[in-house]
């Protein structure tokens, strides 16, 4: 009997997509044991935006969160999302920092690291993949899926062959905008399966309404694992529902390995949490709608809401349609990057700037200049030469790998800056990733601990 396995995303991407990653550890701790017994291939629980949000908004140490999840879920592979040379941030880090971060993630409980690059530049994945394998974890190497004149089946297959040589344990098709059609999924998975003997994992979102059909054709083509979310946190900009797909594939004669009683327990647990987020306004009903504009403009749901909020803050909502039309034009000028963090922010922001200024590339942010210099890696197609010259002026683009130009002593400098504030290597890595945010967190942590000590002394007296 053919087996199809499931990765559950409620602890990471599902709550990131629907409620801006505001699901705190205390909210989901009581259900961890049940999730551990449900029979998932893996549970995605860390990385992506969870690290930043833990420090910035939830007053949680992300490393401590991971250790607690690991302790509560000894039987399930824990998975994280890593942005290659960007780690969990929005810029490139030196090779030493990437290696340290990967080792620390594995040491604290991660079994599978899904590694992607916003430009699909394999040189930006190499160090992270190498260190993942060396640390004894599985490197699940991801294709950032998109369509354009230069994103062909042949190009994706070439990339997959490179990833296998690097040490990929599995290949993930990461369809962050939910734009991969059932036919495209079938053709791509068939081509990958013909090219390499590796398990294929498929990740998509319900944003455009294609996801359930796409998963059906993916499995038909030989996909081994699919990403799903327990029903209260499924749909909209999240993943399709775990229970629905488990039921469907089981009826079709597939073995899923999932315990349906445990899935019902999970769903019943998360229903009131979802209702609470809805009542507070954190879960915006718009996030649950089907948005087919992504198919036309290649704009992921999160990027669409960012465009709206940018224009709203500038009292320029009337320019929304123009910004929508400008976005694919900017993307073409920039060499057709897949629209995923951080390239989606760069392209969207520039489209807004062009529309508001009434002149293309009159105002350009530091990040897009860095992109044009080559600091994000090799673009899928060459950047428009005229546009690049207008943005860079007399500056010359990089000819080598940007990470090679970065200082080699970043960790030691950060350690010296923190002094006694850093209690372990993980604290230093948090600080390097998000300096002001981590500093604020460390100060709050110290204050909290001092209050506890003071309270305990008062209680004893």
In a domain, 249, yes or no: yes
In a domain, 12, yes or no: yes
Which pLDDT value is given to residue 457? 57
The whole-number average pLDDT for the span 163-183 is 97
Which pLDDT value is given to residue 450? 86
Task: Give CA–CA dist 146/305, Å, rounded.
Answer: 19
Q: State the total domains in the chain.
A: 3
3-class DSSP assignment, residue 437: helix
Residues 241 and 115 reside in one and the same domain: yes
Residues 416 and 367 reside in one and the same domain: no
pLDDT digits (tens, 9 = 90+) for 235-253: 999 999 999 999 999 999 9
Which of 175, 184, 284 has its CA nearest to residue 239? 175
pTM of the model: 0.94
pLDDT digits (tens, 9 = 90+) for 368-401: 999 999 999 999 999 999 999 999 999 999 988 9
CATH code of the domain in which 84 resides: 3.20.20.70
In a domain, 374, yes or no: yes
Residues 125 and 249 reside in one and the same domain: yes
**Domain boundary residue among 247, 280, 313?**
280
Which pLDDT value is given to residue 47? 97
Residues 173 and 223 reside in one and the same domain: yes
Residues 139 and 260 reside in one and the same domain: yes
Which pLDDT value is given to residue 22? 95
CATH code of the domain in which 353 resides: 1.10.472.90
Residues 184 and 309 reside in one and the same domain: no
In a domain, 395, yes or no: yes
Per-chain mean pLDDT for the chain: 94
In a domain, 351, yes or no: yes
pLDDT higher at 283 or 427 = 427
Q: Which domain holds residue 208?
A: 5-280
Residues 397 and 414 reside in one and the same domain: no
Helix (H) or strand (E) run with residue 249 in it: helix 242-251
In a domain, 140, yes or no: yes
**Domain boundary residue among 280, 303, 335?**
280
Residues 71 and 174 reside in one and the same domain: yes
Residues 238 and 351 reside in one and the same domain: no
Residues 258 and 362 reside in one and the same domain: no
Which pLDDT value is given to residue 302? 65
pLDDT digits (tens, 9 = 90+) for 33-68: 999 999 999 999 999 999 999 999 999 999 999 999
Task: Give CA–CA dist 32/44, Å, rounded.
Answer: 12
pLDDT tier, 460 (very low <50, low <70, confident <90, very high otherwise) = very low
Chain centre to alpha carbon of residue 372: 23
pLDDT tier, 215 (very low <50, low <70, confident <90, very high otherwise) = very high
- Dihedrals φ, ψ of 201, to 5°? -110, 135
Which of 172, 174, 153 has its CA nearest to residue 163? 172
Which pLDDT value is given to residue 71? 98
Which pLDDT value is given to residue 455? 67
pLDDT digits (tens, 9 = 90+) for 123-162: 999 999 999 999 999 999 999 999 999 999 999 999 999 9
The whole-number average pLDDT for the span 344-359 is 93
Which pLDDT value is given to residue 458? 52
**Domain boundary residue among 230, 257, 280?**
280
Longest dimension (CA), the chain: 75
Residues 272 and 320 reside in one and the same domain: no
Residues 162 and 72 reside in one and the same domain: yes
In a domain, 287, yes or no: no
pLDDT at 27 over 50: yes
Task: Give CA–CA dist 111/345, Å, rounded.
Answer: 30
Number of other CB atoms surrounding residue 267 within 10 Å: 19
pLDDT at 255 over 50: yes
In a domain, 106, yes or no: yes
């Amino acid at each position: 009997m053919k087996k199809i396995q499931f990765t559950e995303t409620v602890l990471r991407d599902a709550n990131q997509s629907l409620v801006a990653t505001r699901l705190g550890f205390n909210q989901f701790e009581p259900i961890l044991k049940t999730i551990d017994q449900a029979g998932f291939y893996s549970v995605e629980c860390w990385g992506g935006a969870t690290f930043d949000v833990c420090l910035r908004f939830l007053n949680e140490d992300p490393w401590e969160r991971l250790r607690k999840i690991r302790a509560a879920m000894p039987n399930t592979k824990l998975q994280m999302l890593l942005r290659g040379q960007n780690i969990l941030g929005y810029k490139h880090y030196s090779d030493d920092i990437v290696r340290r971060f990967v080792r620390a993630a594995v040491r604290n409980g991660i079994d599978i690291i899904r590694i992607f690059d916003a430009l699909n530049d394999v040189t930006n994945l190499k160090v992270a993949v190498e260190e993942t394998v060396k640390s004894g974890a599985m490197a699940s190497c991801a294709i950032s899926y998109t369509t354009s004149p230069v994103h062909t089946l042949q190009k994706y297959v070439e990339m997959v062959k490179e990833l296998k040589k690097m040490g990929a344990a599995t290949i993930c098709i990461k369809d962050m905008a939910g734009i991969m059609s059932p036919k495209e999924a079938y053709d791509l998975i068939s081509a990958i399966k013909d090219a390499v003997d590796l398990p294929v994992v498929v990740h998509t979102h319900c944003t455009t309404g294609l996801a359930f059909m796409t998963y059906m054709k993916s499995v038909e083509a030989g996909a081994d694992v699919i990403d799903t979310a327990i029903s209260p946190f499924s749909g909209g900009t999240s993943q399709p529902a775990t229970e629905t797909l488990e039921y469907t594939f089981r009826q079709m004669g597939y073995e899923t390995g999932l315990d349906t009683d445990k899935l019902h327990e999970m769903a019943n647990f998360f229903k009131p949490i979802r209702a609470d987020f809805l009542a507070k306004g954190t879960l915006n009903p718009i996030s649950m709608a089907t948005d087919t504009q992504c198919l036309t403009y290649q704009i992921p749901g999160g990027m669409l809401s960012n465009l709206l909020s940018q224009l709203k803050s500038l009292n320029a909502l009337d320019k929304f349609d123009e910004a929508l039309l400008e976005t694919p034009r900017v993307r073409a000028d920039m060499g057709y990057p897949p629209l995923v963090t951080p390239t989606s922010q760069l392209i969207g922001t520039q489209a807004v700037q062009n529309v508001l200024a009434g002149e293309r590339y009159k105002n350009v942010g530091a990040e897009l200049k860095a992109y044009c210099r080559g600091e994000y890696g090799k673009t899928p197609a060459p950047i428009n030469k005229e546009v690049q010259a207008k943005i860079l002026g007399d500056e010359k683009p990089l000819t080598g790998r940007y990470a090679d130009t970065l200082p080699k002593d970043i960790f030691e400098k950060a350690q010296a800056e923190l002094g006694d504030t850093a209690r372990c290597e993980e604290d230093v890595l948090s600080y390097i990733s998000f300096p002001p945010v981590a500093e604020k967190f460390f100060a709050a942590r110290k204050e909290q601990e001092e209050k506890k000590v003071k309270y305990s002394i008062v209680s004893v007296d």
